[in-house]
Chains A and B, each alone.
Chain A
Amino acid sequence: MSAIAQANDHADDHAHDHEHHHKETFITKYIFSQDHKMISKQYLVTGLIMGIIGIAMSLLFRLQLAWPDHKFTIYEVLLGKFGTDGVMDPSIYLALVTIHGTIMVFFVLTAGLSGTFSNLLIPLQIGARDMASGFLNMVSYWLFFLSSVIMVMSLFVEAGPASAGWTIYPPLSALPQAIGGSGTGMTLWLVSMAIFIASSLLGSLNYVVTVINLRTKGMSMTRLPLTIWAFFVTAIIGIVSFPVLLSAALLLIMDRSFGTSFYLSDIYIQGEVLHNQGGSPVLFEHLFWFLGHPEVYIVLLPALGITSEIIATNARKPIFGYRAMVASILAIAFLSTIVWGHHMFVSGMNPFLGSVFTFTTLLIAIPSAVKAFNYITTLWKGNLQFNPAMLFSIGLVSTFITGGLTGIILGDSTLDINVHDTYFVVAHFHLVMGISALYGLFAGVYHWFPKMYGKMMNKNLGYVHFWVTAIGAYGVFFPMHFIGMAGLPRRYYTNSAFPYFDDLADTNVLITIFALITAAAQLVFLYNFIYSMFYGKKAEQNPWKSNTLEWTTPVEHIHGNWPGAIPEVHRWAYDYSKTRENGEYVIAGQDFVTQITPLQDGEEELNH
């Protein structure tokens, strides 16, 4: 409400002392905080906890895939009656796959990544005291927390959690007769997601308003760091597409509980004809993927924004082609809303639509290619500082290319026919959005940890974490393309029903071993994260010698971010290694010029 006015107030009147009139209690500071920095940490910690659950699930089903005949006591310990005598139940396998997907896509990579860094960086990098509405921001987090709790609760219902795949296609997700998980488990899933969407919308609206209204003096749109551009556009895609998922979910709730027939027609199940008539599951697919595909970019764009910033800082070079980067973010965002049909080439929709979606889908490869080339050129003739954040950023570019290229095969309606829903798809999207976005998350944590906790993370542990993860991620997902090319379908509890797949078993074992090792490496990260939070080396104000505004705030967090007036911005964020005509740095002896430094004598502001 008054936050905007308040923020402006502060901007004008820097004599204000913020410590005075905000009496902070434990509850207002750590729990129901309205401070964007605290909310960002809340998002991060919640996201990481959900991430641990999601990754642990993947390990369970990887064990099952690698050794389908083997009995593992761990199943009984963790899955209870679904793992009796160490044998995994086929329906719980599907539940694990479903919840793994849901948690990783929405709770870790949407809320955990975008929620954390949009909250942390938008006010700090645009020079604002806080978000436009601190209150809505708080509500957004707590709704996310509530939806996480409900999602975790759904794991404990008697008939099992939702098991229709993370895409919850009806009729499977609508009929408890079809699979146990479509009973209470599915209801909780839908409730959780509805709340999640509300949370996401509140957050996104806040981000958009903040970026548009609260930029400090001199911070024109073309001087925004690419992180902010990415968060801004991500928020817009979220606002456009999440409501459609909400309506899809609402209609599904109607079908499940109130006897409507939006998605159901002509169904005979367990000796009974259902009354439903006239609905179509294909309608659900359209609605779902209208969010589902932009969702990929909701996950990926923040990661790309984060790495743009980190690569420029650590290469000690401006990001190459700032305008092209912004243009490609916008192009990707626009195209992402008109490509959803490529998930449905063989869904039974009109083949002509398939042609249209092939066309738009392959178009999206162009801005993506531009981004990849720009990253590579940014490295060229740089003075690369290999901090862990930089390693993860380069890792992201690598997996983004590897995963993105196979998209050319899947986006082609013809080629999709025979690899659709095989492990080729699983390999593709894990590399291009899963691993890439996770790398973005890690890069962000390593880079902004000093800003969040005032401490440095241990770099050597960071190196170990990166290299094991990098090798492991390729070890898991590269061979996976090949078992997909063999025609191995995803979401199969075991492949032993088809002797034809017997020779793929060794590869499945290999993949599982890589997965176990990679997951173990994440413990290194967790240890580093928690240890550094308490015992890490105290951070300097600007450890990475970065240009952006967040590094002009004091290490100690204060409400309102800057103790005095909000700084004025005089240049873009990427004046790294800028030299005068005589070859000297603009500021002698310093290879960076912060955004708050006015133009120096005889320096030209280049129009980027």
Chain B
Amino acid sequence: MTVFLTIVVIALFGITLWQMSKILKLSQLKSVDDSQVANDKDNNMQGKLMLAFVVFIYLLTIYCFVSYRGFFLPESASEHGVDYDRLMLISMVLIMFVQIITQGLLHFFAYKYRGKKENKALFFADNDKLEFIWTIIPVIVLAGLIIYGLFTWTDIMNIDEEEGDPLVIELYAYQFDWRARYSGNDNVLGKANVRFIEGVNTLGLDVSDDYGKDDKVVNELHLPVNRKVIFKMRSQDVLHSAYMPFFRAQMNVVPGMITEFSYTPTLTSDDMRNSDAMVEKVETINKIRREKSKKLVAAGDEALEPYEFDYYLLCNKICGASHYNMQMKIIVESEEDYEEWLKTQPTFGEQMSAQASN
């Protein structure tokens, strides 16, 4: 495939050069009009190409929306994500509408009014009414979008720790991995600072802070479904960004400060895995992986493992050489399963005393 594509590219380039030299020759031959200023023939040709070009844009748009529909993220797995998706849909429909109309007009006018010697352009320098119309329409539409957007934004970003019974989790980022710290039975995170990092205390918890004793540090994020989670984020070295696309959530992780994001997961990992869209998507991916594996095996390499969907969190702020592989698995499960899992994790206090007794 690669070789084929390379050949295609080279061939196309060759054709370009060949056509170019031909055009050059032709342009030199007919020395009748060598002014290098567009004449009626050029205008006619280029005008028609303009029309063809807008057709190209439309076809490209349709092609992308149809054949890439599998790329869109599946339905949101968080509560606020539903609002996010609705706002996205409204904005998308709106901008596609404007795109189709304006590109159409632009290229159609280019075609329709392609120059001819005998034609006369209309001296039309301004018109206050028109200017007013196309100032006021964007104003109204954008005002609507701004208001809707801001309400949603405020809802998402206003993190109320008192409301409901939120679960407080610390997300800890470093080059190039993630850790999560659960706040334990007291639901309060112990104090921490990079200056305390030593041995198994990789997150720099303050051992003198009692709130920290029951904290649990893990490398896989488990979340109970339908319970609000508040993430407190901390980085030990450079900027990172905690991006959880399936939950429509993202926040930078900044050394020297604690950033926050909060959402309520609504679909368990199993729900998402078994949804129609995801089943179809995973099937496509596994087909691709099987094809790839065949080649790998033929070349004496190991085959790729079949893919099973899991939520993930990835780093989305350039953070160094292995930025591309800084990820953590997220598992959303029922409250019981979550409790079960949490019980099996050692507390920070246990870890420290284990270290001390060694």
A and B, one complex? yes
12 residue pairs from A and B, CB less than 8 Å apart:
A273-B194, A282-B257, A363-B142, A376-B106, A382-B109, A401-B98, A401-B102, A409-B91, A486-B73, A503-B288, A507-B68, A536-B36
Indicate if the CB atoms of B125 and A348 lie closer than 8 Å: no
Question: Taking A384-B115, A461-B20, A461-B23 as contacts, is the C-beta distance between A267 and B237 under 8 angstroms?
Answer: yes
Q: Min CB distance, A150 to chain B, in Å? A: 23
Q: Mark B32-71, 1 if CB is under 8 A from A, else 0.
A: 0011111000110111011001001100110010001011
Other-chain residue from A347, A406, A460, A491 in contact with B23 (beta carbon distance below 8 A): A460
Q: How far is the CB of B102 from chain A (nearest CB, A)?
A: 5
- Known interface pairs A94-B318, A348-B251. Does A468 touch B16 (Cβ–Cβ under 8 Å)? yes
Question: For the complex, is B298 an interface residue (Cβ under 8 Å from A)?
Answer: no
In contact, B142 and A366 (Cβ under 8 angstroms): yes
Q: Is B327 an interface residue (CB 8 A)?
A: yes
Please state if A503 and B285 are interface contacts (CB–CB under 8 Å).
yes
A513 to B16, CA, bound (A): 14
Answer yes or no: A544 CB below 8 A from chain B CBs: yes
The answer to whether B312 touches A500 (Cβ under 8 A) is: yes
CA distance A387 to B197 in the complex (A): 67
Beta-carbon contact of A479 and B64 below 8 Å: yes
B34 to chain A, nearest CB (A): 6
Known: A414-B156, A608-B125. 6 other contacts (CB 8 A): A316-B115, A321-B126, A358-B150, A381-B122, A384-B110, A418-B84
Cβ-neighbour of A409 out of B26, B88, B152 (below 8 A): B88
Q: Using A317-B122, A348-B259, A412-B149 as known contacts, say yes or no to A386 and B114 having CB atoms under 8 A apart.
A: yes
User: Which stretch, B210-218, B239-247, B348-356, touches the partner chain A?
Assistant: B239-247
Q: Chain B CB within 10 Å — which of A382, A471, A491 has the most? A: A382
Indicate if the CB atoms of B256 and A422 lie closer than 8 Å: no
- Kindly specify which of B4-12, B160-168, B223-231 makes contact with the partner chain: B4-12
Chain A: CB-nearest residue to B136: A366
A577 CB–B CB distance under 8 Å: yes
A579 close to B (CB within 8 Å): yes
A265 touches B255 (CB 8 A): yes
Q: Are A264 and B256 CB-contacts (below 8 A) given A67-B2, A318-B125, A322-B125?
A: yes
Chain B residues, CB < 8 A from A421: 241, 243, 250, 316-317
Question: Which A352-382 residues have a C-beta within 8 angstroms of B?
Answer: 354-355, 358-359, 362-363, 365-366, 369-370, 372-377, 379-382
List the A side residues contacting B105 at CB < 8 Å. Answer: 376
Q: How far is the CA of A459 from the CA of B325 in the complex (A)?
A: 48
Q: Of A171, A380, A464, A479, which one neighbours B238 at CB under 8 angstroms?
A: A171
Q: Is the CB of B257 within 8 A of A348?
A: yes
Contacts of A280 in B (CB 8 A): 254, 256-257
Q: Which of B5, B24, B36 contacts A456 (CB 8 A)?
A: B36
Give chain B residues whose Cβ lies under 8 Å from the Cβ of A422.
316
Q: In the complex, A273→B152 CA distance in Å?
A: 40
Residue numbers in A under 8 Å from B174 (CB-CB):
268
Q: Output the least CB separation between B141 and chain A (Å).
A: 9
A359 pairs with B16, CB closer than 8 A = no
Whole-angstrom distance between the Cβ of B263 and the nearest chain A Cβ: 10
User: Is A457 in contact with chain B by the CB < 8 A criterion?
Assistant: yes
Q: At the interface, yes or no: A86 with Cβ under 8 Å from chain B?
A: no
Q: Do A474 and B56 touch across chains, with their CB atoms under 8 A apart? A: yes
4 nearest CB pairs, A to B: A265-B256, A487-B245, A386-B46, A351-B157
A385-B115 contact, Cβ under 8 Å, with A414-B84, A505-B288 = yes
Q: Are A387 and B37 in contact (CB under 8 A)?
A: yes
Q: Is B345 an interface residue (CB 8 A)?
A: no
Give the A-binding residues of B (Cβ under 8 A).
2, 5, 8-9, 12-13, 16, 19-20, 23-24, 26-27, 34-38, 42-43, 45-47, 49-50, 53, 56-57, 60-61, 64, 68, 70-73, 83-84, 87-88, 91-92, 94-95, 98-99, 102-103, 105-107, 109-110, 113-116, 119-127, 130-131, 134-135, 138-139, 142, 145-146, 149-150, 152-154, 156-158, 174-175, 193-195, 197, 204, 236-239, 241, 243, 245-246, 248-252, 254-257, 259, 281, 284-285, 288-289, 304, 307, 309, 312, 314-325, 327
Name which residue of chain A comes closest to B159, CB basis. A351
Question: Which listed residue (B99, B149, B246, B252) contacts A346, Cβ 8 A?
Answer: B252
Binds B, one of A30-38, A291-299, A332-340, A514-522: A514-522
A-side residues, CB < 8 A to B, are: 67, 70, 89-91, 94, 164-165, 169-172, 175, 178-179, 264-269, 273, 278-282, 315-318, 320-324, 346-348, 351, 354-355, 358-359, 362-363, 365-366, 369-370, 372-377, 379-387, 390-391, 394, 397-398, 401-402, 405-406, 408-409, 412-415, 417-418, 420-422, 456-461, 463-464, 467-468, 470-471, 474-475, 478-479, 481-483, 485-487, 489, 491-495, 497-500, 502-505, 507, 509, 513, 516-517, 520-521, 524, 536-537, 540, 543-544, 574, 576-579, 591, 606, 608
CA distance A379 to B120 in the complex (A): 13
In Å, the complex CA distance between A492 and B241 comes to 13
Give CA–CA (A488, B327) in the complex, Å.
Answer: 13
Q: Are A322 and B126 in contact (CB under 8 A)?
A: yes
State in angstroms the CA–CA spacing of A558 and B215 once bound together: 79
The interface residues of chain B lying within 8 Å CB-to-CB of A376 are 102, 105-106, 109
Q: Is the CB of A324 within 8 A of B43?
A: no
For residue A89, which residues in chain B have a CB less than 8 angstroms away from its CB? 321
B138 pairs with A365, CB closer than 8 A:
yes
* A394 in complex: contacting residue of B106, B125, B256, CB < 8 Å: B106
B322 shortest CB reach to chain A, Å: 7
A572 to chain B, nearest CB (A): 9
B34 / chain A contacts, CB cutoff of 8 Å: 537
Chain B residues whose CB sits within 8 angstroms of the CB of A467 once the complex forms:
49, 53
User: How many cross-chain pairs have Cβ atoms below 8 Å apart between A and B?
Assistant: 413
Q: Which of A491, A505, A509, A521 has the most CB of B within 10 A?
A: A491
**Are A415 and B88 closer than 8 Å at their CB atoms?**
yes
- Given contacts A282-B257, A324-B131, A520-B16, whether A408 and B145 have CB atoms under 8 Å apart is yes
Nearest Cβ in chain A — how far from B343, in angstroms? 30
The distance in angstroms between the C-alpha atoms of A457 and B8, with both chains bound, is 30
CB distance B153 to A414 under 8 Å?
yes
Evaluate contact between A268 and B73: CB separation under 8 angstroms. no
Which residues in A have their C-beta under 8 angstroms from that of B134?
A: 369-370, 373
A374, A492, A517, A578: the one contacting B13 at CB < 8 Å is A517
Known: A171-B239, A495-B324, A537-B34. A412 touches B64 (CB 8 A): no
- Asked whether A460 lies within 8 Å of B27 as measured between CB atoms, the reply is yes
Supposing A355-B153, A394-B110 touch, asked if A485 and B72 sit within 8 A by C-beta, the answer is yes
Please state if B16 and A482 are interface contacts (CB–CB under 8 Å): no
- Is the beta-carbon distance between A366 and B135 smaller than 8 angstroms? yes
Roughly how many angstroms separate A401 CA and B195 CA in the complex, as a whole number? 51
A387→B47 CA distance, assembly (Å): 11
Interface centre among B47, B197, B250 (most CB of A within 10 A): B250
Q: Taking A266-B256, A379-B106, A401-B103 as contacts, is the C-beta distance between A318 and B123 under 8 angstroms?
A: yes
For A577, the closest partner residue in chain B by CB is B121
With A267-B194, A267-B236: A520-B245 Cβ-Cβ less than 8 Å: no
Contacts of A478 in B (CB 8 A): 60-61, 64
> Which residues of chain A are near B113, meaning CB under 8 Å?
315, 379-384
Give Cα distance in the complex from A383 to B150, angstroms: 45
Which residue of B is nearest A405, CB measured? B95
CA distance A363 to B135 in the complex (A): 11
- Expressed in whole angstroms, the Cα–Cα distance for A382 and B131 within the complex equals 19
Of the candidates B5, B84, B241, the one whose C-beta lies within 8 Å of that of A513 is B5
B314 contact set on A, CB distance < 8 A: 489, 498
Determine how close the nearest CB of chain B comes to the CB of A266; give it in whole angstroms.
Answer: 5
B285 contacts A500, C-beta separation under 8 Å? yes
Pick from A358, A386, A517: contact of B149, CB below 8 A: A358
B257 touches A487 (CB 8 A): no
A316-B121, A409-B95 known; A172-B126 Cβ under 8 A: no
